[in-house]
Structure 1
Amino acid sequence: MTPPPRLALLALLLWCLCALPAPARSQSGATPSPASNEGFNCSANTTYPCQAYALYRAGFGGVPLEYAAIGDLFAASRFMVAHANNLSISAVPAAGQPLLVPLQCGCPSRSPNAYAPMQYQINAGDTFWIVSTTKLQNLTQYQAVERVNPTLVPTNLDIGQIVTFPIFCQCPTAADNATALVTYVMQPGDTYASIATAFAVDAQSLVSLNGPEQGTRNLSSPEILVPLRRQVPEWLPPIVRLNNVSTTPASPPPSTTPAPTVVTNNRDGVVTGLAIGLGVVGGLWLLQMLLLGCLWRRLKARGRRAEAVAVASGDGGEGGRFTKAASGGGGGGRFLVSDISEWLDKYKVFKVEELEGGTGGFDDEHLIQGSVYKAYIDGEVFAVKKMKWDACEELKILQKVNHSNLVKLEGFCINSDTGDCYLVYEYVENGSLDLWLMDRDRARRLDWRARLHIALDLAHGLQYIHEHTWPRVVHKDIKSSNVLLDDHMRAKIANFGLAKTGHNAVTTHIVGTQGYIAPEYLADGLVTTKMDVFAYGVVLLELVSGREAVSDDSGEPLWADADERLFRGREERLEARVAAWMDPALAEQTCPPGSVASVVSVAKACLHRDPAKRPSMVDVAYTLSKADESFGDYSGESVSVASSGGIAAR
């Protein structure tokens, strides 16, 4: 039956709206009909995580036309974005220019789909759908955002709230014959043939990765995978390479429309031609002067940047090299200025005078703990960590992580006179967790819900560095003194000084804190993410018991005491044993023994002597989320301790 004209017109209008490219979609709060695609399925034949890419078009969705803004959106430095596209970081992308954005693609154990997590701070008017379709250009779908953030209410998001947006991606299998896969959002008019040409691949490879062109994809779920056959940025696909030509002044794009040839024998034509010729010569001269001016400014900027770091060795020569200070304890390793250009690009380089002025000359009154000082600089408060120049590994790790449960690095400074290096972090108002647990007055104000949220925050931070970085990051020094609490009592992991990248490494240099060190690391030097899981289990015991990781009297580790008094009895009597063992400050409150016992059970699993039998932080975060949900009905309104020391409703 032929539909009525009005219905046909409405259907055509809806089809046209759906067919619009992602950047041009309406930014209203309307929610479209649910899409069937929530990403690419995890594959048992694939190794996760891996390097992946997304094809992103610059200048849409309110994201400024600059690599720094695009990098911030995807938790990458502008150096990483520019490098992936073989461009200078001083270049400015054109509106609509296709760019390859590097992703760390993973497949969490409880997720059916592969994705790269992107931490996004909610602004006024944002919804899961609006951010997915505008800023992220349909590189994810709002249904997937809801699945990854099960505790958030999409219609009740707070401004400033951090939400994880899963950017769809996939890791290649051996059968894919690809060095990496690109997530590409199909545009109206795209076909497999046109996309294959744009990426210099064969159309059959798109069929192998995504299924037949007709019937499996539609513009409500337009993401497909495209293989890269060669390494980026040594080789770039035509869709990126051809658009990058316009950003290189020395290689202007050839005109697609040849200039008309005018043949005339009259004098007016000669004069006109001469005028045009002089105009062209003048234009070329002016362009040359502009290019020389840009080159001069660029060389001056590069000289200032090189000077900012090369002074660490007291020698601006040696081709811009500098060495670790002899007193730094890091060995005589050499680094190139280019090696840390991405750190300079992402972080502010502070002056020594700024730090000395902000800390009163590193006076003891500004000392927070260890070698960390509180600094007041230009009306802002920072935490400054003073150390010898052995911060290279820490900087390498910090520049590639970005999560709300990790302490944020704001910048750094190198003192050329002393060889000291200063890392400048955000200031976390309420200090370290151990101070709250060991101080009886503070411990009484740290109720069970607050402790459970601290455990969850710490789990989310560890899950991020274990599952969503490549190579994987092992913190190696998880302990209550390295867990900082902000003014809302949300936990942040600090101090990546011992952190290492890689998995299943072996070392003979054992470092760490007594009471938190995993048995396999102490015995064999085995460095894996499971050593962080073990230390996390100890922190859970501290949260439950309010006791230190090692007894001052006997020197017995807390986990050994828990093993003897909690873990060896019958499971059905665990709640009674926990009630007798828990922090007296908790016993004074209305605290559900079942919720506490569930956390103790998680700690027991984390402390298993066999690292292979310990849970992943994904499993831990999931279990604790369920414990928090069940506790919500029990405990009523949540509270948090404000920085002033009072109680504030959350």
Structure 2
Amino acid sequence: MSAAPCPYGSMNASRIFVAGPLCKGNVSDVCVVDSKCALVTKNISSVGIEGTITMTYVNGYKTGWDSVDAIGDLSNLSTIGLYNKLQEISNVKFKKGMLKSFVLSDANISHFELDPNSFGALDSLGPFQILNQSFFDAQEYGFRMNISNITQDAQKCEAVKGVVTELWSLHAAINKKTYSVSIRYTVVDGTYTGLIVGVAIGVVILVAAVCFFIRRRNRKRDAEFEYQREGGKSAGGTTTTRFITDNTATGIDMSELTLYRLNQQDVVPQKKIASGAYAHVLYGTYKGTPVAIKKLLSSHVGVSEVQGLIDEIKLLASFTSPYVVKLVGCCWDQPSDLECVLEYMNAGDLRDNLIARTSVDFTWNEKIHVIAAIVDALAYLHSMPVIHRDLKSRNVLLDSVKSAKLTDFGVSKEDTQETMTVGVGTYRWMAPEILQVNHYSVAADMFSFGMILSELDTHNIPYADVTNPKNGKPLVDTAIMSMVIAGTIKPTFSHTMPKWVRDMAQQCIATDPEDRPTAMMLSNVVRKQIKREAHQLGV
């Protein structure tokens, strides 16, 4: 006879209940299900790693009637229910993607301290819902405040050098109340530390490492964009690139684009408006409507390049954000003729605008709306999750009606569990971890966004004002890269830059990726600032 199923169902190692409805003890007890499917009650202060309990705990739980202090790492938990008259919660860690449900009951919290990643995990939850009516097998998702409130005390936040931030702001209309917490950043000094004299050996090592990085990247890129003919060598003994000139077997499946294919007669290119290393962009029309047409250069129509453009089109087709340039479709006669047709933005890119306009006619009031569009675009992309990986002012397009949108997703990749190790992008916008270990995450995008904020402030590219103290000439990229890796250089911010924008920029360019804010957090900050300024103007 088979054993009876555990009556507690999914209430197992992924769940924690403090003084919950099934607990028989007092308010500082925690109930779990052990390996024999028995409900075990323990005082939370004594719970450690125990073989008889299926859940793995981290030592260091401390609790009382009024607070949970240093509750520890809860990143392995998916459902957390705190049934306690709590007033403070600090030093707790949640993991985005793992945390599915957070329930707070009978609590009035005046101080809830979180690091940026834990805030991101908690803030990503939506309103509470149960997908199974059985109590023990209930599939719970989202957040629920049961006779509870979270209102961050400003003085307590300041005492821990935190930033008061609204929690679940996207669901304010549903919540019908506001919740706020304290996010604890590791603030970096935004001032330029100067060139350090007397560490020549260290600089030589760093520059050598940087040069190796560049050579390795270029070799990898050159190899990537070559398709060897059968036989492998030309008469001169060099590798020959195979260009796609017909529909012969190349390993490329054009049928993937059938859903987005346009009638080529309806797409009319008119003039070149931008050019890059592998492709150019033309202004044109589609059925009379202005569009931008991206097409590979004739010298770069190998298998890898064409497949890369196919991948970019497929990725763009998956986006539905007003802050990302929209795919209209694509057309081709043969693979090498593939054209990506995009919505047209009539004001050019942000870099050209910063060059052509002064701070007098490109005011911070206008720039703030550009900032809002960028962070909203990043919040959308990172939720998918997609890393842009080449964020800079050239890839932000402006429009007289549609404000700002992100473009150029030719190097973007989905953020999977695998290590991101494809070296792409422009060096001055790159995060130190990219230059040092070539590891991408969404935090790398946030660093690049910090560089864009410096551009918005100075109208120059990052580090344009930094010169060699010996000859007064601008530093070359390799010198800048080595200093970024060493943490001895930061971009310049002027005294006319709004303080809240400068603070945001300094957080974004933190050396440690863990200390950088998420795009969702910044979206909340920017939107609140826009509302505040509109209120001050009586709008």
Instruction: Give the number of the structure whose alpha-carbon radius of gyration is greater.
Output: 1
- Greater per-residue strand proportion: 2
- Greater per-residue helix proportion: 1
